[in-house]
Structure 1
Amino acid sequence: MAKKISENFNPEKYMQMAVDAMNNSIGEPRTDGKVSPKVGAVLIKPDGTVESASRGELRFGDHAEFTLLERKNRSEKLDGSILFATLEPCAPGARRHPKLGCAERIVNARVKEVWIGIEDPDPDVDRKGIKFLEENGIKVHMFYPHFQKVIKDVNKEFLKQATERANDRKEKKEVVLSNLENSIPTMDLKQFSEKAIQYYIEQSELPHTINSNELWLHFEHAGIVQRVKTNNEEKYIPTGFGILLFGNNPREKYQQAVVKAKVKYGNNASIPKDFEGPLVLIPKEIELWLEQVLHSEVSRKQFQRKTNTLFPIEPLREAIINALVHRDYEQDGAKTYIEIDDDKIVVKSAGLPVSPISLDDVKAFRAPSLSRNPKITYVFNRMGLMEESELGMETFRGMQEKYELPLPFYDYKAPYLSLTFSRSIEAAKTVSGNEALEKLNKEELLGFEWVKSKGEVSKKEYANHFDFDEKKAYRHLSKFRKLNLLTDNGEKSNSPNFRYIFKHD
């Protein structure tokens, strides 16, 4: 049944509707053991009405997008519509002729904007649906991480089979996400570090030994090496990702493959430190270094010694892993940086977020799972260094409640994406560069940082969290609004649905 869209566009509402439709999917009977995905789609039409569809809703096997566009709205003019789909639409060529892929149907319907739940790892789709939509002028967004987790959980068996099909596919890929996926003819397996490989085997708990056929086959499937035939002889050659991850000296090929760190406390000179070598070894080396340099801050004003708490390692680990995994390694000369001083810690890496993730998504800490370098992501995930579900956003969002520290903030100044951590609540006033924060006392600053970490709150939620009466909560929230730190959701101020919303830059 069609529903009228509200004036205040809230994408989460339609993400939830699409997930609800996904849960109503009807699986078609199959004899080949192939699991079909559960998919839901929601269409916001030009007149503001909303309609949904599920896979198999009207006929076994019909895709949710096909049902929505071709069966329920075939005679409708859909120019300028917005579509939400829980799974990446199938790409051109993914379906048997003469059937069109759902991405083609979306383009033909002149839909202007598409929100996609998760990418489809099936080798016939695998980001090609997203690429086709973008190439045809459609704005693409991804669902927020908590919805992605639900979609992945429901489609666990489908995703497992799709990933296996991708690994078993022998043909050369039609779409190459990075030149680093290609083999390097001038290099051989002697360039690999046995120490790095052994560390990977141990951390991943692989049942393989160094130089075993099973290990090289595993590396071939993971995109670390490629099998080539020369002079009637087959051999393995490292790929670009293989050299970055396991090479003795990746900088020999990629000069930008280094993490340059420096520490400067007070009037002391900066202390530099470079981390280079196999990428799989660098996170542990950086963590050990951080434990040494993030010593307690000491103040000797008025002959008194004051020691502050050590900055937590966990969020820094997430930030550094993200920088190593998601940075653009093809930008010549653009290195990764870690800069530490008394007030802040900055992690910088090359490249904007990978499309269709926007900089606004990252700044709002709602960036979903989509890696620029899936080969590195896979290896780091096998080693237990990261989760593939999202970009450590939960860790960052939880810093205020867990550590009573400000939410860090992202910024982009070409070619670097930076993440800045304030080392204390008080330091946030100067580190953020927002003069309005100077007008807040410590209690108000704590309150504002909590709202910032939540994104939006009601007066009652604010009062309950800090154990304030509602008058005090109102004074704080009103002050934040007056200083242009917060806005609202447009509801009447006396409405139970009225909420204060953090204003992202």
Structure 2
Amino acid sequence: MSKKYSRSDFMKLAIEEHLKSEQFPRVGVVVVVKEGDLLATGYRGETSNVHAERVALRKLHPDQVQGSTVYTTLEPCVALHDEQEIESCADLLINSGVKEVVIGVLDPNATIYSQGFRKLLENNISVSFFNRRLRQAVEEETFEFGNISKIVGCGKRRIPVIHSGIELQVQFSEQDNRTINIRWNTLQPKSGCVDLLSDNGAVRVASGARTFSDITDPMVFRFESHYARMRKGMIAIIKPSTSTFYVLIQLIDLFENDILFKWEVRNDR
């Protein structure tokens, strides 16, 4: 006699699959029937270049998938362009006759964010989400950078900037928990600019600087403000009056819904 699982059990099983993935973003999937029977599992990377939803569904006969519930730790992807040869995971679930999809977290990739969720609803598939505690666990383990709202030390990151933008906390290092808050918003890809904000008077544009090594003293740059309208290649300095360190930020590229930037933290001397 097969074991009967609760909805919470299935969420945890999907996370177990998720943790098997060695690729980012990690994704784990379980497929179940209404009575609580586990049908199949899958995770990203289990089969090379195949998304977790497809990995799991391929293990089943099409008749088994009809009316099933799919638990996935990450929002199913959508088609990114009209010429896409491989069916998106959202379309796969719809065309397979799945009745319900339970999602761990929405994909922060701004091209996908909420689009898979919306497409499932538009095709009369019931959609619900993992409970808050388990969503937090998924969030911490899904993406290569862990907490998508925090950046640490120095690095490079591509992030979505949609609706009211995204707020980030810059932490000096893993061992040093000093932080500075920044916000990206008002992305205008056609105009080639995006706004970088922080505290009033904390933002300076490093006019003329081409690399971080060109900046020896951030305070030589005048005209402090609460924001900088950034274009590709521009460097801004974030130094709140009460902070003992500052952040250098350079916009590398911007896209329809995303930006790519790099940053470096330095102690204030």
Q: TM-score normalized by structure 2?
A: 0.56
Superposed counterparts of 1:5-404, under 5 Å: 6=4, 10-27=6-23, 36-45=24-33, 48-50=36-38, 51-57=40-46, 59-69=47-57, 71-93=58-80, 97-157=84-144, 160=148, 164-167=158-161, 201=199, 207-208=202-203, 215-217=227-229
Q: Structure 1 14/46 Cα, relative in aligned 2: closer, same or farther at 3 Å?
A: closer
Alpha-carbon separation, structure 2, partners of 1:75 and 1:133 = 19
Alpha-carbon separation, structure 2, partners of 1:156 and 1:182 = 24
| Greater radius of gyration (CA) | 1
**Which deviations, in whole Å up to 9, do the C-alpha atoms of 1:31-70 show, x marking residues without a partner?**
xxxxx2111001003675312111111x22211101011x
Aligned residues: 177
Bigger relative contact order (CA 8 A; separation at least 6): 2
1:5 shift after superposition:
5.2
1:157 shift after superposition:
2.1
Q: Structure 1 20/79 Cα, relative in aligned 2: closer, same or farther at 3 Å?
A: same
Superposed counterparts of 1:462-473, under 5 Å: none
In the alignment, is the contact (CA less than 8 A) between 1:94 and 1:124 conserved in 2? Answer: no
In the alignment, is the contact (CA less than 8 A) between 2:30 and 2:41 conserved in 1? Answer: yes
Residue 85 of structure 1 aligns to a residue whose secondary structure is: strand
Cα RMSD between the aligned structures?
A: 3.6
In the alignment, is the contact (CA less than 8 A) between 1:4 and 1:48 conserved in 2? Answer: no
1:77 shift after superposition:
3.5
- The residue number in structure 1 matching 2:209 is none
- Structure 1 segments unaligned to the other structure (5+ residues): 28-35, 168-172, 184-196, 221-505
**Which deviations, in whole Å up to 9, do the C-alpha atoms of 1:145-188 show, x marking residues without a partner?**
11111111112425749x82424xxxxx8xx79xxx999xxxxx
AA in 2 matched with 1:40: G
Q: Which is helix-richer, 1 or 2?
A: 1
In the alignment, is the contact (CA less than 8 A) between 2:25 and 2:143 conserved in 1? Answer: no
Q: Structure 1 13/127 Cα, relative in aligned 2: closer, same or farther at 3 Å?
A: same
Residue 113 of structure 2 aligns to a residue whose secondary structure is: coil
In the alignment, is the contact (CA less than 8 A) between 2:199 and 2:226 conserved in 1? Answer: no
In the alignment, is the contact (CA less than 8 A) between 1:116 and 1:143 conserved in 2? Answer: yes
Residue 91 of structure 1 aligns to a residue whose secondary structure is: coil
Q: Which is strand-richer, 1 or 2?
A: 2
AA in 1 matched with 2:107: D
In the alignment, is the contact (CA less than 8 A) between 1:26 and 1:60 conserved in 2? Answer: no
Identity %: 25
1:88 shift after superposition:
0.4
- The residue number in structure 1 matching 2:258 is none
Q: TM-score normalized by structure 1?
A: 0.31
Q: Structure 1 66/212 Cα, relative in aligned 2: closer, same or farther at 3 Å?
A: farther
